[in-house]
Amino acid sequence: MSVLRFSLPLLVISLLVNVLLHPLTSNSDAILSTPNKNILLLTAHPDDECMFFAPTVLSLTKHHHVEDGEGNEKPLNVFSLALSVGDAEGLGDTRREELGKSLDVLGVQRGKRWIVDHPELPDNMTTHWDANIIAKVIEPYVREHHIDTILTFDRHGISSHPNHFSLPAGVLQYIANTPVESRPRLYSLITVPLIHKYIGPAASLLAKFDVKIAALFDDSTRANIHKIPVFVSGAGDWWTAIQAMLEHKSQMVWFRWLYVAFSRYMWVNEWIEVPLGSMDV
């Protein structure tokens, strides 16, 4: 009896730790099965890339590869475009540098990352960015680099920041302006209800549980559109995301420490494809 009393909690703890250690990806084919496999992360401010998107970025840069035709594996082409320097407090120059360092940590290479400072796209909690301007600003990057998948916020923008939730509408505008054969696909990061947002590592456990349960009930005759791409970080990737966040020195005020400790988005990203013409952005 006493053996059981000690060994059972130990067993449960070791199981949980084991589950937390490993990254997990589900239905990523939807995002990866494009012809060029050139993926663009579109953000609004320096630090979005690690506060919200790190599980996806790290999975794409560290855990996924493409074949180069001769059987050799090479890294995926992951690009990053931030549409403001984050100058709301006059720290634009500093934050531009911090973004570069953060992307170094996340594995997005120089030459594949850009930051835009446009008068019509100011870093401002109360400013909605115009979809036509976003479409125009992203166009040269998307076209020149044959981007076929764009990852960005959804219409709630995770934190309800209007700069965030302006982005999917801007991308849809770009897609509408583009000939059918060269249109990229748009995926939005799903905003979860507040009650699920700050559950820390439990988010990883629950997301993995969901994926496993979904696999149990998997019905291959069902259309793929019901399957959402999910990226769950392991403890190693979570730690890398923290390192990236620490590069944003100007932003590490006390409540951001709380954020990185408890936010679900440091562990889990779920995506939904946004079709053209959908109002659901």
Ligand X SMILES: *[C@@H]1O[C@H](CO)[C@@H](O)[C@H](O)[C@H]1NC(C)=O
Residue 85 CB, shortest distance to ligand X, in Å, is 13
Q: Reduce the DSSP state of residue 207 to 3 states and report it.
A: helix
Which residue lies nearer to ligand X by CB, 88 or 214?
A: 88
> Total residues at the site for ligand X (CB under 6 A)?
5
Which residue lies nearer to ligand X by CB, 28 or 124?
A: 124
Residue 156 CB, shortest distance to ligand X, in Å, is 20
Q: Does residue 124 touch ligand X according to CB under 6 A?
A: yes
Of 35-43, 118-126, 193-201, 248-256: span binding ligand X (CB under 6 A): 118-126
Q: How many beta carbons lie within 10 A of that of residue 122, not counting itself? A: 15
Least Cα distance to 55 among 27, 23, 82, 102 occurs for 23
Q: To the nearest 10°, report the CA torsion of 244, 247, 248, 254.
A: 90
Spatial contact of 138 and 42, defined as CB atoms under 8 Å apart: yes
Q: To the nearest 10°, report the CA torsion of 112, 24, 255, 118.
A: 20
Of 7-15, 39-47, 124-132, 204-212: span binding ligand X (CB under 6 A): 124-132
On the 0-12 / 13-18 / 19+ scale of CB atoms within 10 A, 257 is exposed
Residue 97 CB, shortest distance to ligand X, in Å, is 20
Q: Does residue 178 touch ligand X according to CB under 6 A?
A: no
Q: Does residue 132 touch ligand X according to CB under 6 A?
A: no
Site string for ligand X, 204-233 (x = CB under 6 A): ------------------------------
Which residue lies nearer to ligand X by CB, 28 or 127?
A: 127
Q: Does residue 126 touch ligand X according to CB under 6 A?
A: yes
Q: Reduce the DSSP state of residue 44 to 3 states and report it.
A: coil
Q: Rounded to 5 degrees, what angle do the CA atoms 67, 73, 79 make?
A: 80
Q: Which residues contact 12 (CB under 8 A, 6 or more apart)?
A: none
Of 34, 127, 132, 250, the one binding ligand X (CB under 6 A) is 127
Which residue lies nearer to ligand X by CB, 127 or 178?
A: 127
Amino acid at 160: S
Q: Does residue 119 touch ligand X according to CB under 6 A?
A: no
Counted residue by residue, the chain has a size of 281
Residue 90 CB, shortest distance to ligand X, in Å, is 8
Least Cα distance to 28 among 67, 5, 73, 58 occurs for 58
Q: Does residue 162 touch ligand X according to CB under 6 A?
A: no
Which residue lies nearer to ligand X by CB, 166 or 240?
A: 166
Q: Does residue 88 touch ligand X according to CB under 6 A?
A: yes
Residues in contact with ligand X by CB under 6 A are: 88, 122, 124, 126-127
